[in-house]
Amino acid sequence: MQLEGKVALITGGGSGIGAALAQRFVAEGATVCITGRRAEKLGEVAASLPAGRCMPVAGDVRDPADAARMVAEAAAVSGRLDVLINNAAANLAGTVVGMELETWQEMLDTNLTGPFLLMKAAIPHMVAAGGGSIVNMSSLAGVVCVPGSPGYCATKAGLIHLSKQVALDYGKDGVRCNVVCPGPVRTEMLENNLTPMAEVMGTDIDEVFRVLPRFMPLRRVASPDEITGVCVFLASDDSAYMTGSTLMIDGGTHYVDAFACAVGEAGVSWG
């Protein structure tokens, strides 16, 4: 019960990592407010948890009025807001030349401006209460580049630096801000993104998830619940002296040399 009595706002809480976070935070003693654009999905998550412990609030993180309303409703639960998890994201493929401006703008608005708006609204509540914890969900793609993903990579990298800025500016007020960078996690969003690959390979999505991790040190993709533990830690008082940190939860993928792994798979070594 590391989060006993805390109130947390989790964006993108209707599925994937966000839904897993809601379940884990409630299990750890928190009361949560989950947000997202799909009210039906939010309702399903809330209904699966003990009554009164999870409040669904439909809205769009890209909308300044919605962002302010989400924070206000979460803070109204018990008069304060202890934790903000910026988890909502968009991942739309395309190269710089091939991507439409509208696609670029959607990812910028969702992945970077959205967290900015939520933090802008939430930080005053945290300062007034003497502190709080913000956890921003970046990605392995915020640290290394992924083919055909300039919008996702750029916005997730920007979120890391924005988080450090918040940690610097509001640490004196007791507000901490840290970043979690998941690697491949089997969510609805990733399955949708990899479905074209399955079609090209002439196989199904299960085979794609079996083949792709072969160069990852842990040799597998993560499940959403495997990302929740580090977020509980960052939201809890156990991490009271941590701020501005970027934690890689990626099965070791960020330190792998893909070229060297390909050479090794061919049975060749050097050194």
Active site members: 152
CA angle 103, 186, 179 (to 5 degrees): 70
Distance between start and end Cα atoms, the chain: 49
Residue 84, SS3? strand
- Rounded distance between C-alpha atoms, residue 215 and residue 220, angstroms: 9
Residue 79, SS3? coil
- How is residue 238 written in tokens? 């156990």
Closest CA to 174 of 129, 136, 135: 129
As to burial, measured by CB atoms within 10 angstroms (0-12 exposed, 13-18 middle, 19+ buried), residue 226 is middle
Closest CA to 131 of 96, 93, 191, 82: 82
- Rounded distance between C-alpha atoms, residue 3 and residue 25, angstroms: 7
- The torsion region of residue 49 among left (phi > 0), alpha (psi -120 to 50) and beta comes to beta
| The dihedral formed by the CA atoms of 96, 102, 104 and 109, expressed in degrees to the nearest 10 | 170
